Structure 1
């Protein structure tokens, strides 16, 4: 057969495949109607495993066995998506405990952040809540999450991702450990300045203090002064506080200009970090499961076994419902070898039916799925 004849036969087979596919989907619709009446779950792992085994046995070559398995896994995924949608249309959608609000309460609230006054987390709190916010600090990110969960603070401000350094892994883990919810986010540009005493000059500087990452982010500028001694401290605000407290004109700090204003330091050189686009994303957490009606990002997490195709099957819930995924991050599950927890951000609102259907599918198929927030 020549190529045209082969393609003609392929077209005939494809036409028959589509006819059979539509016939199969009609039967899947009937299955959904039965499950609506009986309350049976959509996802039946044992039934799907048996089905995969039987279709593999129908194929002759090992290559075709694998291909048949892949095709039928996809068919069953599409079938589940249809069934989830039909269940939602019949009032059996995901039961959300979140409440939609017009705006987030900001008046008279207490806000907690990690670090000390002048730290970038403090700057993020001021940026989101305003300069007059009742904000206080604790030593660790975990302590901040605990303050919120215990009700001693209305909101907590935590860094979650930096455009240069990547995600803050410890804070992802804290989102699972504490029953707080992401209600907002704010993006704070990282603009380091060289800060000195009010009567100091650039020519007098001999020692520079900062957080290790601050020193790294300003390495090009600092390396242009090879005679300067660079010393790491707990964070950039601690560096600024150290300079003012020790009163040594030969000492300077790499920190934010906010820290400089708070501690009465002079800007000896502004914008000394080499990446001028460096930005940190901070999340605002609350113990209240609320979201603004205009929220357009949903964060979730779930666990999956270390098994071929498990992540693909979960993410297909987004594909089928036309929900756009904008971020995925994985973390190992504590005390479970080779099992992972995935953190995913998608575009959308918890009031959207497509988002609701996708989350319903993930809730049915994953382990320990949680909605972390809509913001």
Structure 2
């Protein structure tokens, strides 16, 4: 037989596969009707595992066995998605425990931020809430979370990601630990300056203080002046404050131009961070389960079964519902070696039917799922 004849045979087999697939999905549709009427869950892992075990026995080679498991895993996945869709159409998708609001009361809000006056966090807070915001500075990210939890603040502004240094991993861990929710974000441009006491010159500086990320972002400049000792601080504004208070001409801080004004310091060098397009994304969080009606991004965290293909199958819910996933990060789960919690950002609004459909599938198939916010 030549290649043309073989392709003709494949076409004939493919036609049968299409017919059988559509027949299978028709049956799956009737299964969905039954589950709607009885309230039975869509995802039945035991049934699917038993099915795959039987399929393996029918294969004639190891290669075909692997392929058939993949094929039938996909068939069952598509069946579930059809059932989720029918449940949504029947009004059985359930209500998400979030309240839609028109706007944030920025005028009367009590807002905390980590750092001190002149910090980038304060700058992000003022850009989002306005210059006259009722602000509460705290020493640590955890302090901000605790303030929200006890009700002493309405919102917190925290850095979650820098365009060059990457994620702020502590924030991800705190989001998983506390039941707080993201309601907004603010991106600000980062332009680090080397600050010293009035009259200080670059040649005078022997020690520089800054947050470790600021030191890393200014690595090229600091490597050119390797004689300067680097000391990490909790916050760049704290570093500027220390230099101002110590009045030591050999000390410098890496911070913003705004911090120089606040603490009466001179700008020795401006724009010392390596990447000119450096920006930091800040999140605005609250302890209330609310979202703005025009919100366009959803963040969630989930844990999945520690087995092959788990993440792959969960990701298919975004594809099938035509949702654009913009970010995925992983963080290790405490006390569970080599297991990870995933943080995902995707485009959508909690009121959208496609979002509800995807979240229902994710919730049934993930070991744990939490919506972190819609903003």
Shorter-chain TM range is over 0.9
Question: Which residue is equivalent to 2:352?
Answer: 352
User: 1-side partners of 2:136 and 2:213: how far apart?
Assistant: 24
State whether residues 191 and 271 of structure 1, in contact with CA within 8 Å, keep that contact through their aligned partners in structure 2.
yes
TM-score of the pair, normalised by structure 2: 0.95
Query: C-alpha deviations, 1:275-294, integer Å up to 9, x for none?
Result: 11121111110011111121
Question: Which residue is equivalent to 2:326?
Answer: 326
User: 1-side partners of 2:328 and 2:352: how far apart?
Assistant: 21
Question: Which residue is equivalent to 2:317?
Answer: 317
Question: Which residue is equivalent to 2:112?
Answer: 112
Query: C-alpha deviations, 1:154-191, integer Å up to 9, x for none?
Result: 10111111111211112111111111100011112221
Question: Which residue is equivalent to 1:341?
Answer: 341
Which blocks of at least 5 consecutive residues in structure 1 are unaligned? none
User: 1-side partners of 2:275 and 2:129: how far apart?
Assistant: 27
State whether residues 297 and 347 of structure 2, in contact with CA within 8 Å, keep that contact through their aligned partners in structure 1.
yes
User: 1-side partners of 2:59 and 2:323: how far apart?
Assistant: 35
State whether residues 305 and 340 of structure 1, in contact with CA within 8 Å, keep that contact through their aligned partners in structure 2.
no
When residues 229 and 67 of structure 1 are mapped into structure 2, their CA distance, relative to the original with a 3 A threshold, is: closer
State whether residues 165 and 217 of structure 2, in contact with CA within 8 Å, keep that contact through their aligned partners in structure 1.
no
When residues 69 and 229 of structure 1 are mapped into structure 2, their CA distance, relative to the original with a 3 A threshold, is: closer
With 116-125 and 254-263 compared, the bigger mean Cα shift is at 116-125
**1:202 CA displacement:** 4.5
When residues 215 and 336 of structure 1 are mapped into structure 2, their CA distance, relative to the original with a 3 A threshold, is: closer
Question: Which residue is equivalent to 2:89?
Answer: 89
When residues 42 and 178 of structure 1 are mapped into structure 2, their CA distance, relative to the original with a 3 A threshold, is: same
Query: C-alpha deviations, 1:26-82, integer Å up to 9, x for none?
Result: 110000000000000000001111111111212211211111111000000000000
**1:359 CA displacement:** 0.4
User: 2-side partners of 1:139 and 1:220: how far apart?
Assistant: 29
When residues 278 and 75 of structure 1 are mapped into structure 2, their CA distance, relative to the original with a 3 A threshold, is: same
TM-score of the pair, normalised by structure 1: 0.95
User: 2-side partners of 1:231 and 1:173: how far apart?
Assistant: 25
Pairing of 1:1-375 with structure 2 (within 5 A): 1-202=1-202, 204-375=204-375
With 175-184 and 243-252 compared, the bigger mean Cα shift is at 243-252
Query: C-alpha deviations, 1:224-251, integer Å up to 9, x for none?
Result: 4455444433331122111211223343
User: 2-side partners of 1:329 and 1:273: how far apart?
Assistant: 25
Secondary structure class of the residue paired with 2:371: strand
With 205-214 and 108-117 compared, the bigger mean Cα shift is at 205-214
State whether residues 164 and 217 of structure 2, in contact with CA within 8 Å, keep that contact through their aligned partners in structure 1.
no
User: 1-side partners of 2:337 and 2:212: how far apart?
Assistant: 32
Query: C-alpha deviations, 1:2-44, integer Å up to 9, x for none?
Result: 0000001101111111111111111100000000000000000
State whether residues 299 and 343 of structure 2, in contact with CA within 8 Å, keep that contact through their aligned partners in structure 1.
yes
User: 2-side partners of 1:295 and 1:274: how far apart?
Assistant: 34
Divergent runs of 4+, >3 A: 198-207, 222-234
Alignment: residue pair count: 375
Secondary structure class of the residue paired with 1:364: helix
When residues 369 and 347 of structure 1 are mapped into structure 2, their CA distance, relative to the original with a 3 A threshold, is: same
User: 2-side partners of 1:175 and 1:266: how far apart?
Assistant: 37
**1:342 CA displacement:** 1.1
Secondary structure class of the residue paired with 1:107: coil
Which blocks of at least 5 consecutive residues in structure 2 are unaligned? none
State whether residues 305 and 338 of structure 1, in contact with CA within 8 Å, keep that contact through their aligned partners in structure 2.
no
When residues 206 and 312 of structure 1 are mapped into structure 2, their CA distance, relative to the original with a 3 A threshold, is: closer
User: 2-side partners of 1:141 and 1:226: how far apart?
Assistant: 31
State whether residues 77 and 313 of structure 1, in contact with CA within 8 Å, keep that contact through their aligned partners in structure 2.
yes
User: 2-side partners of 1:222 and 1:173: how far apart?
Assistant: 30
